[in-house]
Amino acid sequence: VTFFPAMLTLPAGGSATFFCNISMENDSGSEYSLNWYKEINHSQAQKIAEISRNNPQTKTEKYLLTNHTPAFKIEILNLHENDSGSYYCGLITFFEPDKVMESNRSHLVVTAAPEKTNATDEPEIEEGNSPDHIKAVLLGILLLAGAVILLIFGYLTMTYRRGGMIPHGGCATPRGWGKPPMVSVSTVDYGVLEFQRDQCTQMPSDTRPVEQTEYATIIFPEEKPITPERAKKHQD
């Protein structure tokens, strides 16, 4: 009965795998079982697992045993520092009265989990989530930009409507977009105005007003040049 590998050094949190290989000269279908033992500081051995010849696999919370006759595999799961120690297997045959054969010892050393393992795991999680995070950020930026554009457009619309730049319904002509308003240029001239009295109304001499001259300023808007067509209309 051989047990290998002879030495394993692994960090906590992982798993350790050992193999126990048996060789039987007269194997005529006899029954046997294989036990696994652990000893600490060369103290008394403690049985930790067992598997029989006809059992293909046995699993507990801590150990997984697999039958690959003539080799048997044992996996120590979820390693802790207190799993360190010496391990070996023992073959118990039933074709001879309680014959027990023990294998050599193999040593397992479980070290503390390095801090670098946790540090390297965190970036992997961040990298796995980075595409979703980037998508969420881009979506938020697009939504914010759309809201800002709508606010600016609404503000400009209200401003132009109040200033008469954009008509409601499109019926009115936009003020400021048509021709510039005509600027009237006024000229000043003076003349004498004669007021005729009503000949039918006789006023007493004592109530007649004193002869006086009154002046008035009349402002005429600038007229367009007189064309032949306008002159004819004026004569009519």
User: Is 37 within 8 Å of 45 (Cβ atoms)?
Assistant: yes
Identify which of 60, 69, 76 has the alpha carbon closest to the alpha carbon of residue 34. Answer: 69
Residue with tokens 């000269």: 25
Residue 80 lies in a domain: yes
Are 66 and 56 in contact, with CB atoms under 8 Å apart?
A: yes
Residues 6 or more apart in contact with residue 148 via CB below 8 angstroms? none
Total domains present in the chain: 1
Conformational region of residue 98, where left means phi above 0, alpha means psi within -120 to 50, and beta covers everything else = left
Residue 22 in any domain: the answer is yes
- What residue numbers bound the domain in which 90 lies? 2-111
Looking at every residue in the chain, the average pLDDT score rounds to: 76
Specify whether the CB–CB gap between 68 and 57 falls below 8 A: no
> Percent of the chain scored above 90 by pLDDT?
31
Question: Across 13-27, 142-156, 222-236, which has the greatest mean pLDDT?
Answer: 142-156
Give, as one character, the DSSP assignment of residue 40.
Answer: S
Judge whether 59 lies within some domain.
Answer: yes
What pairing do the DSSP bridges indicate for beta strands 106-111 and 7-11?
A: parallel
The percentage of the chain sitting over the pLDDT mark of 70, rounded to a whole number, equals 58
- Which of 19-33, 85-99, 110-124, 135-149 has the highest mean predicted lDDT (pLDDT)? 135-149
Non-local (6+) Cβ contacts of 187 within 8 A are 220, 222
Is the pLDDT at 112 greater than 70? The verdict is yes
Token pair, residue 62, equals 């801590």
Residue 137 domain-assigned? no
CATH number for 44 = 2.60.40.10
Q: Are 103 and 5 in contact (CB under 8 A)?
A: no
pLDDT digits (tens, 9 = 90+) for 191-216: 665 656 555 555 555 555 566 666 66
The answer, yes or no, to whether residue 98 has pLDDT greater than 50, is yes
Contact between residue 47 and residue 36 where contact means Cβ atoms under 8 Å apart: yes
Cα 132 to the chain's mean position, in Å? 5
For the segment 1-30, the average pLDDT, to the nearest whole number, is: 86
Q: Would you say residue 90 lies in a domain?
A: yes
In this prediction the pTM is: 0.47
Token pair 């045993």 in the structure block, residue: 65
* In-domain check, residue 156: no
Is 85 domain-assigned?
A: yes
Q: Quick one: average pLDDT of 73-99?
A: 87
41 φ, ψ (degrees, to nearest 5): 50, 40
